[in-house]
């Protein structure tokens, strides 16, 4: 063999020999989970880096539901039963479930020494949902538009407003579809304003946008289900000075938005959201 070929072969052997050994595939089961320190580096389904510690249990339980949480079907929620039993070692408050290489953050306080039923976990990619669904032999439930239709009108309650006084806008949300429109209302109103509403305001038709000068802090609130039969309307009044300070007299273009978590038309309670929608409309506000 020529000398040059021998040298190249030796260099290739050294290079191959210098490669770190490939890690063994992750075994299914429940593991201790940390975000720093010693252990096996992994990536959670939301892309966050983490570290797996000791495997606590080889069991992965049984999946009872795998439902989409977004209209584009990019994120899912997995509901599980029968995780464990785990080893006697404490979990340290954080645990992960590994299923066919997918690492799922189970959160805090989900496992005890004798094993407990775990409510669920989020899968942040459709690919992870497909892999996990295949393992558990459960089909991911995708979202599809339920077919609702509505008309939105925002109108000021006065022709003009004096600078510094409340600026109240009226919302009329009319069901123009052929089935009952059901949605949840509330849950973000324990604060200075109801954050289920959003607003955008600008001076004139093409002027500069106004900054949000309000207090968005909220501590939840009571929720209710609103059901609109075809032709019926939901109405609300909102003071937009809880969002904006109108700096000078003139005409402002205001876009009003109501978050609309839509329920199934035949849902008679607080069922899951089947579609996230927005009731959006515009109107002019005149400040004198």
* Confidence (pLDDT) at 13: 38
* Confidence (pLDDT) at 265: 92
Strands, DSSP E only, in 160-267?
A: 168-175, 181-186, 197-203, 223-228, 233-239, 250-263
Other residues' Cβ atoms within 10 Å of the Cβ of residue 54: 12
Give SS3 for 5.
Answer: helix
* Confidence (pLDDT) at 18: 47
Q: How far apart are CA 84 and CA 63, in angstroms?
A: 14
Other residues' Cβ atoms within 10 Å of the Cβ of residue 197: 20
Residue range(s) occupied by CATH 2.60.40.2360 in the chain: 150-287
Q: How far apart are CA 76 and CA 139, in angstroms?
A: 12
Other residues' Cβ atoms within 10 Å of the Cβ of residue 218: 16
* Confidence (pLDDT) at 204: 87
> Does residue 161 have a cis peptide bond before it, meaning omega lies within 30 degrees of 0?
no
* Confidence (pLDDT) at 248: 92
Per-residue pLDDT of the chain (288 residues; tens, 9 = 90+): 555 544 444 433 333 444 445 578 899 999 999 999 999 999 999 999 999 999 988 989 999 999 999 999 999 999 988 877 666 555 456 889 999 999 999 865 455 555 566 668 999 999 999 999 999 999 999 999 999 999 999 999 999 999 999 999 999 999 999 999 999 999 999 999 999 999 999 998 888 899 999 999 999 999 999 999 999 999 999 999 999 999 999 999 999 999 999 999 988 888 899 999 999 999 999 999
Which fold is adopted by the domain 150-287? Answer: Immunoglobulin-like (2.60.40)
Residue 276, H or E segment: strand 275-287
* Confidence (pLDDT) at 107: 65
Specify the pTM: 0.81
- Which residues lie below 8 Å from residue 251, measured CB to CB, with a gap of 6+? 203, 204, 284, 285, 286, 287
* Confidence (pLDDT) at 12: 37
Q: How far apart are CA 69 and CA 22, in angstroms?
A: 35
Nearest to 78 by CA among 86, 87, 69: 69
């Amino acid at each position: 063999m020529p000398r040059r070929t021998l040298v190249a072969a030796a260099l290739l052997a050294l290079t191959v020999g210098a490669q770190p050994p490939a890690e063994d595939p992750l075994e299914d089961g429940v593991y201790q989970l940390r975000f720093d320190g010693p252990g096996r580096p992994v990536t959670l389904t939301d892309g966050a880096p983490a570290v797996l510690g000791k495997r606590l249990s080889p069991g992965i339980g049984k999946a009872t539901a795998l439902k989409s949480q977004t209209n584009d079907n990019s994120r899912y929620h997995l509901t599980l039963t029968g995780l464990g039993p785990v080893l006697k070692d404490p979990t340290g408050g954080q645990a992960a479930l590994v299923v066919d290489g997918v690492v799922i953050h189970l959160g805090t306080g989900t496992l005890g020494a004798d094993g407990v039923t775990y409510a669920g976990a989020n899968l942040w990619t459709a690919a992870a949902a497909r892999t996990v669904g295949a393992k558990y032999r459960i089909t991911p439930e995708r979202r599809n538009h339920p077919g609702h239709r509505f008309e939105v009108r925002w109108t000021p309650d006065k022709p003009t407003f004096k600078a510094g006084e409340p600026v109240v806008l009226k919302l009329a949300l009319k069901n123009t579809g052929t089935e009952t429109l059901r949605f949840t209302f509330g849950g973000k109103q324990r604060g200075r304003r109801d954050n289920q509403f959003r607003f955008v305001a600008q001076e004139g038709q093409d002027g500069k946008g106004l900054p949000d000068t309000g207090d968005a802090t909220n501590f939840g609130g009571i929720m209710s289900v609103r059901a609109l039969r075809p032709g019926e309307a939901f109405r609300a009044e909102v003071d937009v000075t809880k969002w904006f300070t109108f700096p000078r007299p003139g005409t402002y273009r205001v876009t009003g938005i109501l978050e609309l978590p839509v329920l199934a038309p035949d849902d008679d309670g607080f069922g899951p959201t089947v579609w996230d929608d927005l009731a959006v409309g515009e109107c002019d506000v005149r400040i004198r």
